[in-house]
Amino acid sequence: MPIEHAPFSKAEYDRRIAKTRKAMAAAGIDVLFVTDPSNQAWLTGYDGWSFYVHQGVILGMEGEPIWWGRHMDALGGLRTCWMSKDNIRGYADHYVQSTIRHPMQDLAGHIRAFGLDAARIGVEMENYYYSAKAHDVLGKELPDATLVDATALVNWQRLIKSDEEIAFIRKAARISEKIVQTAIDRAAPGVRKNDLVADIFHAGITGVGDDWGDYPAIVPLTPSGLDATAAHLTWNGAPMKKGEATFFELSGCYRRYHAPLCRTVYLGTPPQEMRDAEQAQIEGISAGLEAARAGNRTSDIANAFLDVLARHGIEREGRMGYPIGLSYPPDWGERTASIRTEDKTILQPGMVFHFMPALWMDSWGLETTETILIIENGPAEALCNVERKLFVKD
């Protein structure tokens, strides 16, 4: 069936599956049930806004993976997955959001039919799309099986990006530049925040040239003033005001691949403490990029940044970044490594992170971030090209 629909080459999917099976073998898993939509897409090409009902990929140790979901979405599977028609399976609509049936009953039937009812089955226990109830029903339906926690098993395989993936992320980066520039250009006293966000969406989805824009896994975050002390508030219809900073946490998206980029705009004359923080942040980011070298660790990036901040007398806690790439709502991060002092992941060429050392202070927030690529030699490459500074508009 339609390999032409899937965004990557067959060789790429083969490589991903071989890598995943190696990890399954190491974990003693016979068959993996993959619910994370990003993992499903990464393995099969499946792409649709259908993750609000139960669906997943069944990956055994040989043969093609099987995409399984609601019957009407199996038709979408035929249109987007690379596998043969027989390996797209649908369940009846009376399982959907039913108070008397559960889709895991149907899934268990497939697993029994494959003779895997006494297998060690890997499930993604920490995932938005594998509910406590799904786990409970699947366990009861397959009393002889052993359900093994395989959270992030596939996610970890995604950490090092292929050349094909990096090409997609570079396209997303062009879109990110366009939307951040749109936000900077449009920000002005009196502009309603929602009108500005409308322009951001428009710029992102029209895309750049032939590279059409997909929906980002997180909507634009654009809080101003005190709202910007909180990290994740979305927009409203209030006009922008002089004397306030607004951070723009945005990402372009090209065929589900992201390149997040944040910049902050101040309307008026920023207070000196914000100017000081700006200098510390920019210097810290440079130090972080210098430390973001193959062979170093994620913690080295965090420590390099924090050392600079400490020299400037600023204390900061918490995570400063995460791997990014293919993603679906509600998160564009990959949920594996973190850029933080306690994380010791060794950096390797092809890893891509959103390096996100934002400063959320008592009365304002300052976000200046970069999507960075770990390369063979030298400091990480920042994939977007927008001046790294606090943008000030009068």
Residues 124-183 that bind a second copy (CB under 8 A): 125-136, 149, 151
Size of the site for a second copy (CB under 8 A): 82
* Cis check: omega of the bond before 37, within 30 degrees of 0: no
For a second copy, the binding residue among 23, 27, 96, 282 (CB under 8 A) is 96
CB 154 within 8 A of CB 43: yes
For a second copy, the binding residue among 207, 260, 270, 357 (CB under 8 A) is 207
CB of 322 to a second copy, least distance (A): 7
Q: Measuring CA to CA, how many Å separate 117 from each of 94, 120, 138, 145, 217?
A: 24, 9, 11, 5, 35
315 near a second copy (CB under 8 A): no
For a second copy, the binding residue among 116, 148, 197, 390 (CB under 8 A) is 197
199 near a second copy (CB under 8 A): yes
CB 237 within 8 A of CB 196: no
CB 43 within 8 A of CB 19: no
CB of 43 to a second copy, least distance (A): 18
- Pick 52 or 389: Cβ nearer a second copy: 52
For a second copy, the binding residue among 21, 114, 191, 360 (CB under 8 A) is 360
Range in contact with a second copy (rule: CB under 8 A) among 222-230, 275-283, 295-303, 379-387: 222-230
Range in contact with a second copy (rule: CB under 8 A) among 10-18, 19-27, 90-98, 261-269: 90-98
d(CA 208, CA 225) in angstroms, rounded, equals 31
- Pick 94 or 113: Cβ nearer a second copy: 94
d(CA 187, CA 266) in angstroms, rounded, equals 9
For a second copy, the binding residue among 169, 221, 324, 351 (CB under 8 A) is 221
d(CA 48, CA 328) in angstroms, rounded, equals 10
CB of 375 to a second copy, least distance (A): 25
For a second copy, the binding residue among 25, 226, 310, 346 (CB under 8 A) is 226
CB of 389 to a second copy, least distance (A): 24
Three-state DSSP state, 28? coil
212 near a second copy (CB under 8 A): yes
CB 119 within 8 A of CB 154: no
79 near a second copy (CB under 8 A): yes
- Pick 182 or 293: Cβ nearer a second copy: 182
How many CA within 13 A on the CB side of residue 110? 25
344 near a second copy (CB under 8 A): no
Give the residue carrying structure tokens 């890893």. 351
Residue 130 has which token pair?
A: 């594998």
Range in contact with a second copy (rule: CB under 8 A) among 24-32, 161-169, 182-190, 204-212: 204-212
245 near a second copy (CB under 8 A): no
Q: Which residues contact 161 (CB under 8 A, 6 or more apart)?
A: 169, 325, 350, 351, 352
CB of 201 to a second copy, least distance (A): 4
333 near a second copy (CB under 8 A): yes
For a second copy, the binding residue among 84, 97, 348, 385 (CB under 8 A) is 97
d(CA 7, CA 211) in angstroms, rounded, equals 13
Range in contact with a second copy (rule: CB under 8 A) among 176-184, 233-241, 286-294, 386-394: 233-241
Range in contact with a second copy (rule: CB under 8 A) among 49-57, 166-174, 264-272, 304-312: 49-57
Give the residue carrying structure tokens 């055994």. 60
237 near a second copy (CB under 8 A): yes
- Pick 336 or 371: Cβ nearer a second copy: 336
d(CA 152, CA 156) in angstroms, rounded, equals 6
Q: Which long-range contacts (CB under 8 A, 24 or more apart) does 101-104 make?
A: 102/54, 102/133, 102/134, 102/137, 103/53, 103/54, 103/70, 103/134, 104/54, 104/134, 104/137, 104/138, 104/141
- Pick 293 or 340: Cβ nearer a second copy: 340
- Residues 4-43 close enough to bind a second copy by CB under 8 A: none
Give the residue carrying structure tokens 């939509």. 37
- Pick 181 or 286: Cβ nearer a second copy: 181
149 phi/psi in degrees, rounded to 5? -70, 115
Please calculate the CA angle 27-349-155 and round it to the nearest 5 degrees: 35
- Residues 255-294 close enough to bind a second copy by CB under 8 A: none
